[in-house]
Amino acid sequence: MKPFFVLLGLICLFSSPANGQSLQEVRKLFQEAPEREASCSQLIRLLKSVSADKQPLFYGYKGVATMIMANHLGNPLRKLSHFKEGKKILEEAIRKEPSNLELRFLRLSVQSEAPGFLNYNQDIKSDRSFIQEGLTRTKDEELKQMISQFLNRKK
């Protein structure tokens, strides 16, 4: 019976989005999601069971993916519903880890692209400043590149 639990634990460990390999996959799907509905759906499925308490970063990606899915929907009410749900998820993740550079980048990327009538743009200046300061301190080269590409596009 003991080998069964060890095997089950290993399966959970390697299928969980908490390992580094999955973070790369999540980032890749995030970058594809605005253009490819299939990538957005896959990202939402991958992050379905994450929680803000245990994995705030992945929970933030779940929120962003939910908001991005609004772009792929036709019904305006469903679009707004997805956006509001995703916003709530992302803001909860940021409340859990307010100094997380990647979460603040996620919020900046959404707020920079959100239509003005949604009134979701109040943190752009503070997030941009926080990110520019934190970018020099992070050792995560993939994150640095992702943020730098975004900031260069927005100039």
Task: For residue 17, report the phi and psi dihedrals to the nearest 5 degrees.
Answer: -75, 10
Residue 78 lies in a domain: yes
Residue 53 lies in a domain: yes
Q: How many residues does the chain have?
A: 155
Q: How many domains does the chain have?
A: 1
Residues 155 and 114: beta-carbon distance below 8 Å = no
Task: Tell me the CB-side half-sphere exposure of residue 24, using CA atoms within 13 A.
Answer: 6
pLDDT digits (tens, 9 = 90+) for 97-140: 999 999 999 999 999 999 999 999 999 999 999 999 999 999 99
Statement: the pTM of the whole predicted model exceeds 0.95: no
- Write out the H or E segment, with its range, that includes residue 18: none
Residue 25 lies in a domain: no
Mean pLDDT (whole number) for 24-31: 97
Domain that residue 85 falls in: 36-154
Q: Residue 98 gets which letter from DSSP?
A: T
Work out the mean pLDDT of the chain and round it to a whole number.
89
Residue 72 lies in a domain: yes
Residue 80 lies in a domain: yes
* Position with higher pLDDT, 11 vs 42: 42
Residue 18 lies in a domain: no
Residues 65 and 86: beta-carbon distance below 8 Å = yes
Residue 74 lies in a domain: yes
Residue 65 lies in a domain: yes
Mean pLDDT (whole number) for 48-55: 95
